Amino acid sequence: MLTSIEALRAELNYLLKDSTPASEKSETADLFAYAKTVTSTMDQYVKLVPPNELKAAKEFMSKS
């Protein structure tokens, strides 16, 4: 997951650079592929968390 987050960050930085050609800025397939991988692996990770700990974390976050 961390590798995919880094790839997502790098791709986003590349697309936002002023020096990136306009024709390449519209090509976002890689960006969305990395985002999909990050989301999928995060979902898998959260499924490993024991339900009582996940509930406690959600309650903690809702108070913040």
> How many residues would you count in the chain?
64
pTM of the model: 0.72
Whether 10 shows a pLDDT value over 90: the answer reads yes
State the pLDDT at residue 26. Answer: 86
CB atoms under 10 Å from CB of 8, counted, come to: 19
Average pLDDT for 13-28: 89
- Kindly indicate the confidence band of residue 24, based on its pLDDT and cuts at 50, 70 and 90: confident
State the pLDDT at residue 52. Answer: 96
**CA–CA gap between residue 21 and residue 63 (Å, rounded):** 45
List the chain domain ranges. Answer: 2-63
Nearest residue to 42 via CA among 52, 54, 24: 54
